[in-house]
Amino acid sequence: MSSSAPSKAPASGSGAGTRGGPRHVAIIMDGNGRWAKKRLLPRAMGHKKGVEAVRNLVRSLRENPVEALTLYAFSTENWGRPADEIADLTALMKHFIRNDLDEIAQAGVKLKIVGDYSVFDDEAVKLIDGALARTAGNNKVTLAIALNYGAQAEIVRAARAAAEEGEITEEAIARHLDTADMPPLDLLIRTSGEVRLSNFLLWQAAYAELYFTDVLWPDFSPAHFREALDHFAGRERRYGGR
């Protein structure tokens, strides 16, 4: 199932009425818990399988090229989950960095964090800092991971920064968003059948095409990603202009 509702042309990015592949894709990776529950497995196994899906997706970017990919990994609301689940998620994040950073760096991927990752434990922060520094010079694709991220808080921070500069305009706020150095968001995908944005990239998604799939995140394959890209390419983006 898919849905889209752009309202007006953005200041930059693909022009109105154009067709082609997206420059910037974002994904709400939903369904790890339900995947595990269906198989009578602990939630931790769902999260582990979800990390494998991330790994396969990043590897597939050689065949499905985009300029930027943003993944919703940990929201500000996720702190309300049980402590053991948060510990599992943090451990998986550390494991991913330790085991996949070499491959990511060699593939020319530039890592970026959207949100405030300083709230994680010292070991995690150190690993993230190292990963960001190591990939800072890469330019084939930007892989942004949303950690401790909430779109409403991001917009508030950006508005405050714009106000301090004495100019509260759409352009001024956009300059202070976490994604200001990335291409405009073209396509937002959500897995698992849920049809909502869950406080993710609310400002950036104003003109994005939305794509919803019933596939649970651990089962989301590069082929599913290709299907979403092909669906996007078949749309005519008018931004309400005609």
Contacts 24+ apart (CB under 8 A), 100-108: 100/55, 100/58, 101/130, 101/131, 101/134, 101/135, 103/59, 104/58, 104/131, 104/135, 104/143, 105/134, 105/135, 105/138, 107/58, 107/59, 107/61, 107/62, 107/140, 108/138, 108/139, 108/140, 108/141
56 is in an annotated binding site: no
**Rounded Cα distance, 113 and 50, in Å:** 19
148 is in an annotated binding site: no
**Rounded Cα distance, 210 and 119, in Å:** 30
- CA 198, 149, 82: angle at the middle one, nearest 5? 80
217 is in an annotated binding site: no
Cross-strand pairs, 26: 70, 188
Residues involved in catalysis: 30, 78
137 is in an annotated binding site: no
43 is in an annotated binding site: yes
14 is in an annotated binding site: no
Could you tell me which of 53, 7, 2 has the C-alpha nearest to residue 231? 2
196 is in an annotated binding site: yes
62 is in an annotated binding site: no
203 is in an annotated binding site: no
34 is in an annotated binding site: yes
Q: Are 107 and 146 in contact, with CB atoms under 8 Å apart?
A: no
135 is in an annotated binding site: no
221 is in an annotated binding site: no
Please count the CA atoms within 13 angstroms of the CA of 116 that sit on its side-chain side: 8
Annotated binding site for Mg(2+): 30, 209
Annotated binding site for substrate: 31-35, 43, 47, 75-77, 79, 81, 190, 196-198
